[in-house]
Amino acid sequence: MEPQTGPSAFATSSIHKRKHLSEDHSPPFHPSCDSSMHNFTGSVNSLATTSGSVPDFVVKDEAATNIFTENLQIRGGYSAREESLKKEEESGLLKFVCVCNDGVDDHMVSLIALKNIFARQLPNMPKEYIVRLIMDRNHKSIMVIREPNRVVGGVTYRPYANQRFAEIAFCAISDDRQVKGYGTRLMNHLKQYARDVDGLTHFLTYADNNAIGYFIKQGFTKEIHLEKDRWEGYIKDYDGGTLMECKLDPKIPYTDLTTMIRRQRQALFEKIRELSNCHNIVYAGIDFQKRSEDGVIPNRIVDDIPGLKEAKWTPDMYGHSRFRALDGSTDHATNLKHLTEFMRSILKEMHDHPDAWPFKEPVDALSVPGYYEIIKNPMDLKTMSERLESEQYYVTFEMFLADARRMFENARTYNPPKTIYYKCATRLEAHFQSKVTTLLQSGFKIQ
């Protein structure tokens, strides 16, 4: 698939044609920054870090020692990045500050540096427009600053105190700091500051196609639940942008989410311990690449996995699906054979369709730079075919459906509605759904 390329930064709408802005009903904003730069770095003190260790664990293999307890403390890329940046803040290497046009020389220098980042990352946005909003005294800017006092990103927004919401104007991170968690950490600081200092409850922003994925990850939705009379006429209306909303939770510690997640996980495992002892045993991993004496990698049998039986697993749970062949066979091997033939016929129908050409190969990262920064779970017909022919991946029809839907959704997420790629995805998906329905009626049924 060859989607349209876009700027590498996440940002609000780069379509800058301003349609309408009613008279500003809010009083002039007097910056709360006064003459000093507000540094709101740091975690919520009431949520002190708790130990990630879990007592009474039995380890079946010495190599597995500490695997569980370490992962309990930091699990997943999001938590790891947040924890790492939080430590940098605590050490003074990184800080997040609120700056506004208050006439202080240092603040003006920082605003100009942020303007340069926005201009570089938002090439379609006129520089004069960026300067006008950043320097407007009704706007605030939350900046990411690394030692030695270098601005590496930020977000500019306008709070409407009486309406208790803010409009995000620009949001970007410099090239060398992208995909490292800075954008998420910046948004978390913005949420905490806007809620606790500005007293706001919602954010609104117009996002272009390149920014929608980022904002969705930060808790924004395309459904606007904020009462229309609170925002209509206050915010700028853009051609081609998508209006998105984020509601601020009054209790979430946005700048200390990892501690909250750790405590929730700890509470969950304590509840599990009340019901079962299976979680107390950590088994060594399976060397699935280990070859037999004749040099062949053997097919793994699921019930060979240590600990499954102890966890009350039974063979009928493997490959459990709502779909079964009409012959009523309960034999797993027979069902899997029928299922593979069924999926192979659907995949061929898709591959032969005239709208399938953008999806036959994985997207080339060199031809479409930045694609994999937006699409984190890519999918294409070639990958689906390889998974199918392995006869080990699609053990349920639901897994096959999920990959197909992901492929269509990726195309619509990355490409604007008027592009050929978006239209091909919609037409091919309709064909896919039609064929699935037809084949189900002729050969498969849903239990």
CA dihedral sign of residues 47, 50, 54, 55: negative
Q: Are strands 281-282 and 58-59 parallel, antiparallel or unpaired?
A: parallel
8 A C-beta contact, residue 273 and residue 50: no
Kindly name the residue from 89, 167, 245, 429 that is annotated as catalytic: 167
Angle at 118 between CA 187 and CA 153, to 5 degrees: 40
Which H or E element spans position 19?
Answer: strand 18-20
Asked if residue 148 has a cis previous peptide bond (ω within 30° of 0), the answer is yes
Residues pairing with 237 in the sheet: 20
| CA–CA dist 12, 212 (Å, integer) | 8
8 A C-beta contact, residue 117 and residue 174: yes
Could you tell me how far CA 434 lies from the centroid of its own chain? 31
167 is catalytic: yes
E strand intervals along 82-208? 94-99, 140-146, 150-160, 165-173, 202-207
What are the structure tokens assigned to 304, written together?
A: 């060979």
**Positions marked catalytic:** 167
